[in-house]
Every structure is written in C-alpha cells, then in structure tokens.
C-alpha cells in the first residue's frame, strides 16, 4: 500500500542543536509576512494575538541595516575572528572560531542605535502599544558561528521582573539563508502557555536557598535541548524565513523560539532588543548605562 507522505517544504537538511528538523509541511513552514499591515495597529494586534509574532519584511531601509553590519564586522575584526584575505563585509570566520554572543561590540555604536532605537522602531511600537514607549538599554548581539543555534526558550524567564507586555525585536544584519541559521518560532506556542506555566513563572537569576546542593542558579533558561521532540509534543510547525537585511521579527514573551544551526563559515549577525510602554514597570536588570544583566547583583535567593 502506498503511504501518504507530505511534501518537504525545503530540500535542505536543517538542524537545531544537532537534531535534524522535520521539514514536511506539518512540521516546518515560513513566517507570515505582515508588511502589508505594518501601519494598521488593530490588524497588527490581531495577528500578534493569533500568531504570537509579527514578521515585517523590509521594515528598515536596507542601507541603514547594512551600515550597521559594516560597523559590527569592523568592530568584531579587532578580535581576530575573521579569515584574512576575504572581504570583511562577508564575515567569514576563521576555522575553529565559534562565537555566539558579544557583550560589548554593540556599545556606543550610533549605526546600531540608529537601527534598534531609531524612528521606524519607535513609531511602530508606539502605535502598536498605543502610548509612549521605552526600550531596554541592553542590546543582545548574536555573532553565531558554525555550530549549534539557540535552544528553545521563552524570553520572559530572562526579563520578567517588569511588565510582561514586553516585545522582543529580532533583527538580522545581512542575509540569513537557512544554512546560516536564523530564528525559528514554534507556531502558536503562546496559546499553550498554560502547559509551561511553571517554566514561564521562573527567573534564571533566582536560586533555591533552602535546598542543599541546589543553591546554584536554577536553570539556564532553555525549555529543552531537543527542538524536534518539543515540536512533536506541542504540535504546530517550526516557522522561519530566509531573512534579508531590513527585516524585523517581533514576538511575545511567551512565544517559544530558538534558532537553526549555522552550517557555514559565515557569521550570523543579529540583535535582539526589547520594547514596552513607558508607564509600565521595567525590569531594572536591563536599563542604564551599564545594565547589571544576569551578573551577581541580579541574583535573588528564594525558598523553593
Ligand atoms: O538569535 C538567536 O539565536 C536567539 C535570539 C533570541 O532568543 C531572541 O531574539 O530572543
Ligand atoms: Fe529569546
């Protein structure tokens, strides 16, 4: 008997954390582009409620994002991570160099601030949230080399001490085809938040002071290290895109996301930044000139 199999969405083999992603149409798909409604706050709200994310292709002027890429690769080049003799702008990493984050290269960079705190973002979130907005000062700069992507997680566990009406903006600096490993979102996962309520209520900077041997920090923030079994459990598809400079992907604090492994020597440069209404409480770990972040001053002990 002939078995019915659904068509693959891509012919590429994709992995996340080393696990081969199922790429049939029930398991994998493309993010929906909302650029046609980018100036319609009611439509944006409705889509955010339904999908847990908004993907807006061509949100920023391309040249503004490419200027930020130039500044970033020039700054990162000082660490000696790029192969010599190749155009710097291509960001070709030396063999054996596997960076993931950079904690300082984003600081005091007008070209990056122009993107992440510029007029497009400001206008967008003000309209979307219906009031004056503010951002976290900390900028998460990802410099992903060949190797594993980011484990599935929800952002709230890293930044939940203020309002939960907080949105992440994920912004690629350059093309991110599938093999370079962009962000992926687990379809409608925010609608299953009740299944992971304990996880969503946790805070990576809290430790259990009453349990001997567990007075280290509770967890690294990931939901799992297996994006494939997670999807099988939750249903829905892993959604991603072949990202272009200028694209914006914004999502909720309880939307499950992770990223695809980079199988190339090309650096995947992206930032993630956060926005909220300014009349709502803010998570103090991420504001100010030198945010304390997950450093020792952020740690809270509690009785578990
Ligand atoms: O870029 C990545 O791999 C992860 C990004 C992320 O977790 C975020 O934007 O919140
Ligand atoms: Fe995240």
Asked, for residue 110, whether it belongs to a domain, the answer is yes
Rounded Cα distance between 59 and 199, Å, is: 32
The predicted structure's pLDDT at residue 95: 96
Whether 27 is in the pocket of ligand 1, judged by its Cβ within 6 Å, is: no
Distance 153 CA to ligand 2 centre (A): 6
- Three-state DSSP class for residue 114: helix
Asked, for residue 135, whether it belongs to a domain, the answer is yes
Ligand nearest to the CA of 183: 1
Strands 206-208 and 300-302: parallel
Distance 173 CA to ligand 2 centre (A): 17
Q: Which atom of ligand 1 is nearest to the CA of 149?
A: 3
Whether 143 is in the pocket of ligand 1, judged by its Cβ within 6 Å, is: no
Structure token pair of residue 207? 């430790």
Q: Which atom of ligand 1 is nearest to the CA of 270?
A: 1
Can you give the pTM of this predicted structure?
0.95
Asked, for residue 295, whether it belongs to a domain, the answer is no
**4: confidence class by pLDDT, cuts 50, 70, 90:** low
Asked, for residue 290, whether it belongs to a domain, the answer is no
Q: What is the pLDDT of residues 39-98, one digit of tens each?
A: 999 999 999 999 999 999 999 999 999 999 999 999 999 999 999 999 999 999 999 999
Whether 171 is in the pocket of ligand 1, judged by its Cβ within 6 Å, is: no
Region 199-221 average pLDDT:
75
Distance 210 CA to ligand 1 centre (A): 33
Region 267-296 average pLDDT:
94
Rounded Cα distance between 246 and 60, Å, is: 4
298 or 291, which is more confident?
Answer: 291
Decide if 193 contacts 254 (C-beta within 8 A): yes
Asked, for residue 10, whether it belongs to a domain, the answer is no
Provide the CATH number for the domain around residue 99: 2.60.120.620
Residue 116 backbone dihedrals phi, psi, to 5 degrees: -80, -25
Q: From the CA atom positions of the chain, what is the Rg in Å?
A: 19
Region 183-204 average pLDDT:
96
Asked, for residue 209, whether it belongs to a domain, the answer is no
Q: Which atom of ligand 1 is nearest to the CA of 155?
A: 10
Domain that includes residue 232, residue range: 15-204+217-279
The predicted structure's pLDDT at residue 212: 63
Region 280-292 average pLDDT:
94
Instruction: Tell me: pLDDT of 162 over 90.
Output: yes
Distance 158 CA to ligand 2 centre (A): 9
Q: What is the pLDDT of residues 105-150, one digit of tens each?
A: 999 999 999 999 999 999 999 999 999 999 999 999 999 999 999 9
Instruction: Tell me: pLDDT of 215 over 70.
Output: no
The predicted structure's pLDDT at residue 300: 82
The CB density around residue 26, as the number of other CB atoms within 10 Å, is 12
Number of independent structural domains in the chain: 1
Q: Output the CA torsion sign for 295, 149, 101, 54.
A: negative
Asked, for residue 227, whether it belongs to a domain, the answer is yes
Q: What's the Cα-to-Cα distance from 129 to each of 49, 164, 165, 254, rounded to whole Å?
A: 13, 13, 9, 17
Asked, for residue 3, whether it belongs to a domain, the answer is no
From atom 8 of ligand 1, which residue's Cα is the shortest distance away? 272
Whether 261 is in the pocket of ligand 1, judged by its Cβ within 6 Å, is: no
Whether 187 is in the pocket of ligand 1, judged by its Cβ within 6 Å, is: no
Q: What is the pLDDT of residues 251-271, one digit of tens each?
A: 999 999 999 999 999 999 999
DSSP H or E stretch at residue 49: helix 41-51
DSSP H or E stretch at residue 63: helix 62-77
pLDDT more than 90, % of the chain: 87
**211: confidence class by pLDDT, cuts 50, 70, 90:** low
């Amino acid at each position: 008997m002939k078995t019915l199999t659904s068509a693959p969405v891509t012919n590429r083999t994709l992995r996340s954390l080393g696990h081969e992603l199922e790429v049939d149409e029930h398991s994998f798909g493309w993010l929906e582009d909302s650029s046609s409604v980018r100036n319609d706050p009611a439509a944006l709200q409705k889509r955010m409620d339904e999908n847990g994310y908004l993907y807006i292709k061509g949100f920023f002027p391309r040249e503004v994002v490419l200027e930020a890429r130039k500044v970033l690769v020039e700054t990162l080049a000082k660490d000696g991570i790029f192969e010599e003799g190749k155009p710097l702008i291509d960001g070709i990493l030396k063999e054996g160099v596997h960076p993931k984050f950079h904690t300082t290269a984003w600081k005091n960079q007008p070209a990056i601030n122009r993107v992440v705190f510029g007029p497009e973002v400001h206008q967008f979130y003000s309209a979307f949230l219906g009031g004056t907005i503010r951002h976290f000062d900390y900028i998460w700069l990802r410099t992903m080399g060949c190797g594993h992507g980011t484990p599935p997680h929800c952002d709230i566990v890293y930044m939940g001490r203020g309002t939960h009406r907080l949105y992440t903006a994920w912004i690629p600096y350059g093309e991110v085809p599938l093999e370079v490993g962009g962000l992926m979102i687990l379809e409608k996962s925010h609608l299953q938040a009740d299944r992971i309520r304990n996880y969503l209520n946790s805070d990576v900077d809290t430790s259990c002071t009453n349990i001997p041997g567990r007075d280290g920090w509770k967890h690294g923030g990931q939901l799992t290290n297996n994006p494939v079994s997670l999807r099988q459990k939750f249903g829905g598809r892993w959604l991603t895109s072949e990202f272009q400079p200028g694209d914006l992907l914004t999502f909720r604090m309880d939307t499950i996301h992770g990223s695809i492994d980079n199988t190339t020597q090309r650096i995947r440069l992206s930032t993630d930044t956060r926005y909220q209404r300014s009349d709502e409480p803010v998570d103090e770990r991420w504001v100010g000139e030198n945010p304390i972040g997950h450093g020792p001053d952020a740690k809270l002990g509690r009785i578990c």
